Amino acid sequence: MKRFRIKGPAPALSGSVRVPGDKSIGHRALIFASLAEGRSKITGLSAGLDNRSTAELFGSLGVQIELGEHEATVDGVGLHGLKMPQGALDCGNSGTTMRLVAGLLVGQRFGTRLIGDDSLTGRPMRRIVEPLRARGGLIAGLSGKKEGEVYPPLSVAPLLEGEALTALEYSSPIASAQVKSSLLLSGLYANGVTAITEPVVSRDHTERMLRALGVPIQAMGPMVVLDPSGWDRRWSGFDWEVPGDISGAAFVIAAACMVPGSDVTVEHVGLNPTRTGIIDAMRGMRADLRFTPKGEAAGGEPCGDVRIVHGSIAATMTAGEMLTRMIDEVPAFCAIAATAGGRSDVRDAHELRVKESDRLRTTAQVLAAFGVDHTELDDGMHVHGGARLEGAEVDSQGDHRIAMMGAVLGMAAHGETIVNDVGCVATSFPAFASTMASLGADIVEEDVE
């Protein structure tokens, strides 16, 4: 087992760093490269395990992929060139991989089975299974701890000759880019229009990439429409660079915001407005954030440098549309809120109950360990900030974002902090400890029995 050992409070953090490539964008780039006709080159990929799971899965489907630490060369097989795998397709810990690939597999003439690790096996899949079935997909999962829910493994039966996926008009009860993307990917194989409406707009990486590849897709606020009529269902290989992950950058930014005297720049990070809720929340806290635009990356993704200079911050509230745009960054936000004056609120975050952990519960447990006054709610959290933080020993419970939250709180706390079971951080930010150490934090990653 691995753990972080942090001595705090840290000295002022300073310098410039890059964070791993955005794994949400990396997943999609690998998928679209696999379905392209010709060779694609993807640079800036995360070295984490999640993107590797997607690359290895498509290798099992007959796609030739040469995968380096941060890049991939992909010889695409076209929309109809995937082959039946020899065994089950292992998605590892990646819910994005399972949900998106399920949308592709329901349109194939061969059967498959999607499996994952213990954490992924406990994550809900009815949200994609039901709408995929509604358009003719033959997909099923297992029952589990919640009545009426569907859990992995997922089994997909082949479409027979003469069968095809049908048009679909679907109003999603939740704002979920994974649901939306799964249905759009299934729509690439459908014989009619795919129209999806969400309560609010979720991250739009899939739509941007499809548009860049010439796929006939339109977005009108929270509605997305893919109409394949008249389209030849083909696209060529491409060269794309994946920008840095705003979710990983959030923990670097949080640490600099929390440690007095800090001045840190995160370079070439994705600034897609459907992902920058954490930035807007920090602006609401009056954090000193400065931006330098750097153009566009993969599939039209805006990117730039983000500089954070430590200063006094105020409490704020995040909910609704803003919360949707920062759902993965809530643990980082709660860490920052622990050092703000007053009560900060998180609401409308029900989705965090079904992440790698019950992320509201584990966030509350970490706050409690550091002596932070808080109240856990069904859909969020009240965090009363401003008190002196004391070093603590906490457990990640297998959740990479909880591990990083514990570490940044430790950098602002007095005394030693131990974060146990941090091997999970490799899914998104393998070099987290060394990156923070390069900025001046007293943090080491240790192997323990």
CATH number for region 2-19+244-447: 3.65.10.10
Cα–Cα distance, 242 to 233 (Å, whole number): 24
Chain segment 158-206, per-residue pLDDT in tens: 999 999 999 999 999 999 999 999 999 999 999 999 999 999 999 999 9
On the 0-12 / 13-18 / 19+ scale of CB atoms within 10 A, 365 is: middle
Chain segment 207-220, per-residue pLDDT in tens: 999 999 999 999 99
Q: Which fold has domain 23-229?
A: UDP-n-acetylglucosamine1-carboxyvinyl-transferase; Chain (3.65.10)
What is the average pLDDT across 376-386?
97
Cα–Cα distance, 44 to 299 (Å, whole number): 13
DSSP single-letter state for residue 93: T
Within the chain, which residue ranges are assigned CATH 3.65.10.10?
A: 2-19+244-447, 23-229
The DSSP code sequence of 334-367 is HHHHTTSBEEEEE-S-GGGGGSSS-HHHHHHHHH
What is the average pLDDT across 231-249?
97
Q: Dihedrals φ, ψ of 179, to 5°?
A: -65, -50
pLDDT, position 357: 84
What is the average pLDDT across 306-315?
97
pLDDT at 145 exceeding the cut of 90: no
Cα–Cα distance, 100 to 50 (Å, whole number): 13
60: left (phi over 0), alpha (psi -120 to 50) or beta: alpha
Beta bridge partners of 343: 384
Of all residues in the chain, what percent carry a pLDDT higher than 90?
97
pLDDT at 104 exceeding the cut of 90: yes
328 tagged catalytic: yes
Residue with tokens 């759009």: 184
Strand, coil or helix: 283: helix
Which of 50, 328, 348, 399 is labelled catalytic?
Answer: 328
Chain segment 411-442, per-residue pLDDT in tens: 999 999 999 999 999 989 999 999 999 999 99
The pTM (predicted TM-score) of the whole model is 0.94
What is the average pLDDT across 370-399?
96
Structure confidence at residue 149 as a pLDDT band (50, 70, 90) = very high
pLDDT, position 48: 86
Cα–Cα distance, 126 to 139 (Å, whole number): 10
pLDDT, position 354: 81
Chain segment 315-326, per-residue pLDDT in tens: 999 999 999 999
